[in-house]
Structure formats: structure tokens, C-alpha cells
A and B are shown apart, each in its own frame.
Chain A
Amino acid sequence: MPVDIDIDHVARLARLELSDEERERLRAQLSLILEHAAKVSEVATADVPPTASAIPRPTVLRPDVPTPSMGPEEALANAPDREDDRFRVPRIVEVE
């Protein structure tokens, strides 16, 4: 069963600008992936509880003990732009 997909919405959410050719190609591919995933619901029955994790392992918690951090020079090494020790990014919100 083919799954219909709003490729423009998905592209907008992912902040991707797609050409017409890309849009058609990705729409077909994503549709196939969704179709494949939809098969799961065919085998899911009332007596199978939903799961969120494929790995059956117990909860692992970490003691509240500090470990070394990397510090600003390493953290900012790949930053596209910086001002002193902070990342510099474009403006974000507008108030009317």
C-alpha cells in the first residue's frame, strides 16, 4: 500500500531547499520507507505491548560526579563565527 507524503512539509521542517527533481526522487524514496515501516503495524496485535527500544537492557544511571569538560577553545574550534568565548549566530526572534 503506497503511503502518501507531504514532501514540502517535511523539507520545511528539516530546513532543506529541494529542487523539483530532488523533491520527486525523495518523495518516492520516503514513501517506500514509510511503506516498509507500515508493515510493522500489520504484525502488531493487542497482546503485544508497544516498545520504544529494541535493546532489552535495564536503566543505566550515572552517579552525580563531575568529569573533565573540554573548555572554550576546543568547543569553539569548529564554530563558523564567535565573539570572545561565545558562539555568534544570526538573529532569532522578532517582537512586533
Chain B
Amino acid sequence: MAGASTTAVAQEFETVIGLECHVELSTTTKMFCGCRNEFGAPPNTNVCPVCLGHPGSLPVPNERAIEYIVRIGLALGCDIAPRSLFHRKNYFYPDMPKNFQISQYDLPVCVGGHLDVEVDEHVRRIGITRVHMEEDTGKTTHAGVTGRIGQAEYALVDYNRAGVPLVEVVSEPDIRSPEEARAYLTELRAILEALGVSDVRMEEGSLRCDANVSVRPAGSHELGVKVEIKNLNSIRSLERALSHERDRQVELLRAGGRPVQETRHFDEETGTTHPLRSKEEAFDYRYFPEPDLPPLELDPAWIEAIRATLPELPAARRDRLRREHGLRPEQASIVGSDARAAEYFERAVALGAPGPAVARWMTQDLAAYLNRTGEGWEELAKRFSPEALADLLRRSEEGELSSTGAKAAFELVVETGRPLGEVIEERGLRQVSDTSQLEAWVDEVIAENPRLVEQFRGGKEGVLNALVGQVMKRSAGSANPQAVSELLRSRLAEP
């Protein structure tokens, strides 16, 4: 697939995207029963008559789950309904043992919010239609010769996940590009993480996303034919699938065709989407009020108490980092979007380290390390604590470490797990400003490089850097480059 750029396509066509994101809440127990809500338990161990839908069992909502959905709704600027209702969504699919899923229909807990996303320093407000409470389904594994869903011969079901509290966040069709969709999902994930309501691990399925996408001629206000894409297991998959689907629909329209309304499955390997045909032909969920659950009435005082406990959200945090610590926008976005990164930053700064220097280290050397190892900030903090970073910056500030020395010290600390002070001592990383030692190295370098010396004396200023480099090499990075440069100049000025 050629993959036309967003800008080129945008001139002729407009892409309209809406996202439905499912968030598994990190409660201790399930939504309507006391079974444990845990990822990775042996199959069918966390099940009981309620979540297996045995006759006569009755659901009772989990208070913590309700608190969490209220937190999410408040963070997204939604109105919290004083009275909402659970409905049964009826369907025949073995991932729910009772043939229905308890969800919400016309009276969800949260309605009408928004999420601001930033793409290329341009902020756009994406509407949130609703946020509703439901229960997750069991996990089906398609089995057969190839293990691919399309060729499965049978399926195996584990109901540990059936009944886990699930929140669905539905956006308005306000998203206009795959890049904006990525920004939306990234920001939503950061907010959920800051709220502490979910593990938000897409690879484990605790955050999942379906996308509705259509394409229409630029300037048109009529909505195009909507295609739903499923199986988006990472933010990268979402962006790739949307780019591919947009290009596919544009090509169809250009060829005089028209997309059909359907559900398509994203194939991670090929980066393409394929129609997903379900044996469930008649999509009629026959929603009706769940007779076993009375309407959910929330005390306004409780809602206000929850509002009072909302943490600082990523957007506010990024703003504050820019304002109070002078971070550049791209630094604030790396440091401020991740709760653990922000905590790392704040701890280092609280120890007296200057904000811009901490941000520079975090977005360069530390970020490179995280990319290389796949670790998170929390793990890094154990290997190289904010205290260590503050110490490292202080030593650099005081001239004890050169910038090369500081980098080497950091690498050694994360590699060996030894304290910073010891590493500096042992590896002789302390920057040498001691003149007699520097003089000895400088004289050796001058003696060994008569041609460079000649060129410098002949007026080629730039050669000095080469000589400084030689001295630095000789000192194994421990010499203070500024002192070396001054010393070289004065020595070379001598006849």
C-alpha cells in the first residue's frame, strides 16, 4: 500500500473517525460478584454462580467500580447522571455464559464530555458522547490448525474475565486523522493512568479500542459509509489500521465505488483490514432494563466528594511544568504525560536539581535508555533514582564531571547497579582540572602532533578542537575540556 500522506489526502477528502474505548477497571473484584479481578490467573478459577449466569444468582454492583466511572466522567468533563440504568444486551456468543451482557443503554452514568488533543502544536477538542458501565466478557481462544481466527475449528473459553468491570468511553465522530486518533488514545490513557482506575495495558487488553471510520469529499457535511475496525491492540496498530482503512476508502471512492457498512478486522502482520463476518446475522440486541438491578442513584454529595479527590490531570501537569520549571513543550509532553515520569521529575527537582537540566536528561539519556531496554520509569527509578540524577547534576554543575564523564557515570550505574560516587572514584571519571596533570597531557599531545601544531600556528583556528580531542582521549574523558583548551592556547602561543 502506497500510504498517501495525511496532508495530500486531506485536500481532497476528509476522514471522519470516532473511537470506542473499553477500559478494564483495576478493582479487586468483579463488577457484580466477589470473584477476583486479576489478569493471568489459571483458566476458570475466578468464577462463581453470578458471573457464570447460573439460575437464581443475583448481581450486586461493585461500589469501587461506580466510584471509578464517576472519576473518569468527571475528568472528561461529563455530566454525572443522578439516576442511571443497567440494561441487558442480548446476544448468542459463548464469551458470555448467560447469553447477555449487563451494560447501559439510554441512561448511562456519564454524558457529554470532551478531551483536548494536541497534534503539531495545534489543540483540538474531541467531544465525548458518553461513558457507560458494563461487564467484560470471557476470553475465547480460537483453536485449530493455524491458530488464525478465520480458520479456527473450535474455540476455548475462560470465564475469568467475564464480569470484570468495564467502562466504555465513546467519542463523537470529531477525529479527523489517524494522527489525531493516536493523540486522543494517548491522552485518554494518560488520564486513566493519572486517575489510578485502570492498568491501561493495551497488550494485556485492559485498554481496548474500536474505531469507526468514514471518508467524505472535503467540504461535504454528509457522513460517509461507516466502517468499524476491530482488533486494535496498540496505539501504533490504531494509527496504522486507520491510515490503511482511510487509503482503502479513498481509493474506492476515486474509482467510483462506495465502501459498504461492515466490521473489519485489522491484521497486525500485513497492516491491512479484512471484512469480519459473524455468524450472528441479525444484530438486534433487544436491550431491556436489567430486572435484577434497581436504577443506580448516586448521591450528589458523594459525587462532589469524588471530584474533590481528583488528581492533577496530564494537561494541567504539562502546563505547570512549562510554567513553573521552564520546560519546552516537547519536554513537558514527555515528562508530563506519564504519571511516573512526572513523579521522577518532581523528586529530582525537590532535591534541588534545576528543572531544565532534569528534563534534558530525562528526554535524552534516560529516554534513550528506556527505549533500549523497554523498561518503564518506575523500574529505572530503582536502578538510577531521582536522587542519583540530582547528585549527578550537582557534580556536573560543580565541575567534578564533564558532560562525557556524566554520561559514562550514568551508563555505569545502570549497568552495574553500584552507587554513583563509587563508580566515579573507581573509573577515574572525576574531571581533572589539576594543572600539572593537564600540562603533562598537553605537552605530550603537542610533541606528537607537529603538523597540527604547525597548522594552528599558521592561523588554522579549527585545528585546536582536534588537539583538545587528543588530550581528552589521553585523559579517558576525565580532563576538563575548557581548561585543556585554555592551556593548549597558552602553550601554543609560546615560541
A binding-site residues for B, Cβ under 8 Å: 9, 12-13, 15, 52-53, 55, 57-72, 75-76, 83-96
Contacts and interface: CB of A to CB of B under 8 A. Distances in A.
Given A59-B295, A92-B94, A86 B158 contact: yes
Nearest to B143: A83
Contacts of B274: 95-96
A24 B90 CA distance: 25
A53 B295 contact: yes
Contacts of A68: 34, 48
Contacts, number: 154
Interface residues of chain B: helix, strand, loop or mixed (majority): loop
A93 B282 contact: no
B154 A89 contact: yes
A5 to B, nearest CB: 14
Interface string B125-160: 000000000000000111110001110111111110
Nearest to B281: A12
Contact of A88 (B148, B149, B154, B298): B154
A72 B296 contact: no
Contact of B45 (A9, A57, A69): A69
Interface stretch (B59-67, B208-216, B317-325, B466-474): B59-67
Given A61-B62, A64-B62, A66-B35, A94 B43 contact: no
B449 interface: no
Interface residues of B, number: 62
Given A66-B29, A89-B140, A95-B150, 16 more contacts: A52-B85, A53-B291, A64-B29, A67-B34, A69-B46, A72-B44, A76-B44, A87-B159, A88-B157, A89-B157, A92-B278, A93-B277, A95-B148, A95-B265, A95-B274, A96-B150
B156 A69 contact: no
Chain A interface main SS type: loop
B458 to A, nearest CB: 74
Nearest to B86: A52
B442 interface: no
A83 B279 CA distance: 23
A61 B66 contact: yes
A92 B178 CA distance: 30
B65 A88 contact: no
A65 B144 CA distance: 39
Contact of A61 (B43, B61, B90, B278): B61
Contacts of A57: 294
Given A59-B297, A62-B63, A89-B157, A95 B149 contact: yes
Interface in B29-82: 29, 33-36, 42-49, 52, 60-66
